[in-house]
């Protein structure tokens, strides 16, 4: 166990294709319900992939003042909602006494791509003088953390860590380090993303990365299944409040669990493909397990990166076998992307929240649509139905383009 300060989770916030808060999202996951459907935001005629996990019926007025809304692209809206939920859940108050010791590390993998599309159309059709004066701060990724920091009055470190699909997990892992190293007493950390727009859907489709099971959207995301044909784009946000154990106990906070392990590395292999044999991801998990002062046998559940891509799911399976050795066959593993789609920069944040809830309720969400398992993916992926068992520690994986990897471990708290 690291001898530095212990770090605990005291607040959770989420916006997802399954619900507008933590409770709705968690309920949908345990029910094995898909949040994926046909894209409704724009005319999808001609797009190879026409499905996504959209956030539905989002109540922006509930989270952002009307005069501020046009200054933010949608990924910031989701960050404000999930961040304010997490703060309210934690009961943490930022005041003159502690403001310099409260940080915000909330990040996006891409940022305001829909806003860029919209303003590009304006400049082409109406000229440069009609571009919004809020355009730049509306779309740059660090303004999610910036706006949230302003909103809650946090004067500590304010950062955006953009590492593709590992973004949310890296943000939480680095937040843990800031508290361990006594730079902060509390950090609001996680990820947000909203790029269900023509360029993103067209770009990922051109890479042949997306599922084209357009006639059956709820069955399209099928990690570890032989018939998977790509991931499904999702959106939303997952944010948590981390605090030092001492700070949380001093104010009598409700503690969900402790965050005890963090691993990060790079495959240094390929721009978009995982390293052969899953070696990079395996080393990342081993690093997190060592950081936690644990053995592989002590991990009860893995929330897999599990994107539903051909190479990715096989590589993660091989990585799990390398990292967990004999224990790999016994551990429960699931991919909640089967229900939410892939939230890109928000995935690691939302899946960290899900991992904490799994510990709280001793419940493991299923991997839905796992009907015909790939012979190369031969571990226990909790197919189609949630399970319950007493758990002590859970691990969450996030892997991104560029070969960047992140692993987090949460343990039942003091």
* Tokens matching residue 142: 């660090």
In this prediction, residue 3 carries a pLDDT of: 61
Please spell the DSSP secondary structure of 266-333, one letter per residue: E--S-SSSPPGGGHHHHHHHHHHHHHTT--GGG--EEE----S-HHHHHHHHHHHHHHHGGGGGTSEE
- DSSP SS3 for 243: strand
Q: Is 342 a catalytic residue?
A: yes
pTM of the model as a whole: 0.97
Using CB atoms within 10 Å of the CB of residue 219, give its burial: 0 to 12 exposed, 13 to 18 middle, 19+ buried: middle
Helices and strands (H, E) in the chain, number of each type:
13, 14
Q: What average pLDDT does this structure show over 274-300?
A: 96
Yes or no: say if 196 and 349 are a contact pair by the CB < 8 Å rule: no
Q: Tell me the HSE value of 143 on the side-chain side, using a 13 A CA sphere.
A: 19
Q: Is 270 a catalytic residue?
A: no
Q: Please, what is the angle between helix 74-90 and helix 143-152, to 10°?
A: 40
In this prediction, residue 55 carries a pLDDT of: 98
Q: Exactly one of 165, 184, 197, 377 is catalytic; which is it?
A: 165
Please say whether the dihedral angle defined by the alpha carbons of residues 42, 116, 153 and 181, taken in this order, is positive or negative. positive
Cα separations (Å) of 326 from 131, 280, 293? 59, 19, 19
Q: What average pLDDT does this structure show over 104-121?
A: 98
At 19, the pLDDT band (50, 70, 90 cuts) reads very high
* Tokens matching residue 254: 């409700």
In this prediction, residue 413 carries a pLDDT of: 83
- DSSP SS3 for 27: helix
At 91, the pLDDT band (50, 70, 90 cuts) reads very high
pLDDT digits (tens, 9 = 90+) for 295-326: 999 999 999 999 999 999 999 999 999 999 99
In this prediction, residue 276 carries a pLDDT of: 86
- DSSP SS3 for 65: coil
Residue 202 has pLDDT above 90, yes or no: yes
Question: Is beta strand 51-52 parallel, antiparallel or unpaired with respect to 7-15?
Answer: unpaired
Average model confidence (pLDDT) for the chain?
A: 97
Backbone angles phi, psi at 333, to 5 degrees: -135, 140
Residue 1 has pLDDT above 80, yes or no: no
- Kind and range of the H or E run holding 209: none
In this prediction, residue 414 carries a pLDDT of: 78
In this prediction, residue 162 carries a pLDDT of: 97
Residue 123 has pLDDT above 80, yes or no: yes
Distance in angstroms (rounded) separating the CA atoms of residues 332 and 44: 38
Cα separations (Å) of 66 from 61, 69, 70, 71, 196? 7, 5, 8, 10, 23
User: Considering only CA atoms, which of 202, 233, 407, 247 is closest in space to residue 316?
Assistant: 407
How many other C-beta atoms lie within 10 A of the C-beta of residue 341?
A: 34
How many other C-beta atoms lie within 10 A of the C-beta of residue 284?
A: 27
Q: Is 147 a catalytic residue?
A: no
In this prediction, residue 4 carries a pLDDT of: 86
In this prediction, residue 384 carries a pLDDT of: 98
* Tokens matching residue 399: 């892997």
Residue 2 has pLDDT above 90, yes or no: no
* Tokens matching residue 108: 């996006």
Distance in angstroms (rounded) separating the CA atoms of residues 238 and 215: 29
Report the Cα 251 to chain-centroid distance in Å: 28
Backbone angles phi, psi at 406, to 5 degrees: -145, 140
Residues 6+ apart with CB under 8 A from 145: 79, 104, 105, 106, 107, 158, 159, 160
Distance in angstroms (rounded) separating the CA atoms of residues 287 and 224: 24
Q: What average pLDDT does this structure show over 30-57?
A: 98
Residue 376 has pLDDT above 70, yes or no: yes
Q: Exactly one of 77, 147, 170, 342 is catalytic; which is it?
A: 342
Residue 71 has pLDDT above 60, yes or no: yes
At 233, the pLDDT band (50, 70, 90 cuts) reads very high
Distance in angstroms (rounded) separating the CA atoms of residues 343 and 192: 8
In this prediction, residue 215 carries a pLDDT of: 97
User: Considering only CA atoms, which of 262, 381, 363 is closest in space to residue 313?
Assistant: 381
Residue 54 has pLDDT above 80, yes or no: yes
Q: What average pLDDT does this structure show over 85-106?
A: 98
User: Considering only CA atoms, which of 403, 238, 221, 233 is closest in space to residue 319?
Assistant: 403
Distance in angstroms (rounded) separating the CA atoms of residues 214 and 39: 10
Yes or no: say if 136 and 372 are a contact pair by the CB < 8 Å rule: no
């Amino acid at each position: 166990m690291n001898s530095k300060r212990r770090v605990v989770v005291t607040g959770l916030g989420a916006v997802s294709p399954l619900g507008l808060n933590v409770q709705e999202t968690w309920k949908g996951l345990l029910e094995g319900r898909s949040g994926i459907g046909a894209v409704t935001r724009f005319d999808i005629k001609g797009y190879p992939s026409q499905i996504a996990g959209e956030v539905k019926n989002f109540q922006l007025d509930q989270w952002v003042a009307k005069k501020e809304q046009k200054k933010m692209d949608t990924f910031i809206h989701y960050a404000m909602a999930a961040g304010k939920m997490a703060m309210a859940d934690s009961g943490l108050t930022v005041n003159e006494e502690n403001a310099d010791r409260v940080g915000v590390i909330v990040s996006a993998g891409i940022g305001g791509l829909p806003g860029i599309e919209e303003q590009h159309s304006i400049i082409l059709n109406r000229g440069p003088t009609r571009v919004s004066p809020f355009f730049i701060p509306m779309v740059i990724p660090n303004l999610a953390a910036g706006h949230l920091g302003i909103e809650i009055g946090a004067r500590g470190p304010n950062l955006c860590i953009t590492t593709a699909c590992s973004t949310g997990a890296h943000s939480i892992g680095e937040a843990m380090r800031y508290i361990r190293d006594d730079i902060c007493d509390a950090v609001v950390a996680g990820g947000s993303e909203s790029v269900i727009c023509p360029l993103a859907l067209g770009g990922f489709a051109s890479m042949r990365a997306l599922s084209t099971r357009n006639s059956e959207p709820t069955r399209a995301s099928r990690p570890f299944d032989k018939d998977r044909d790509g991931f499904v784009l999702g959106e939303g946000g997952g944010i948590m409040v981390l605090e030092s154990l001492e700070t949380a106990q001093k104010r009598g906070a409700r503690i969900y669990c402790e965050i005890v392990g963090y691993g990060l590395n790079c495959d240094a292999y390929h721009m978009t493909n995982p390293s052969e044999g899953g070696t990079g991801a395996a080393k990342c998990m081993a690093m997190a397990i060592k950081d936690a002062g644990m053995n592989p046998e002590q991990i009860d559940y893995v929330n897999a990166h599990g994107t539903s891509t051909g190479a990715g799911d096989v590589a993660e399976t091989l990585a799990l076998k390398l990292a967990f050795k004999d224990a790999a066959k016994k551990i429960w593993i699931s991919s909640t992307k089967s229900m939410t789609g892939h939230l890109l920069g928000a995935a690691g944040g939302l899946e960290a929240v899900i991992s904490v809830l799994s510990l709280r309720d001793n419940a493991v969400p299923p991997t839905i649509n796992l009907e015909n398992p790939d012979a190369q993916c031969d571990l226990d992926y909790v197919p189609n139905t949630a399970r319950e068992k007493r758990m002590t520690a859970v691990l969450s994986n996030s892997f991104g383009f560029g070969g960047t990897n992140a692993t987090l471990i949460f343990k039942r708290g003091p």
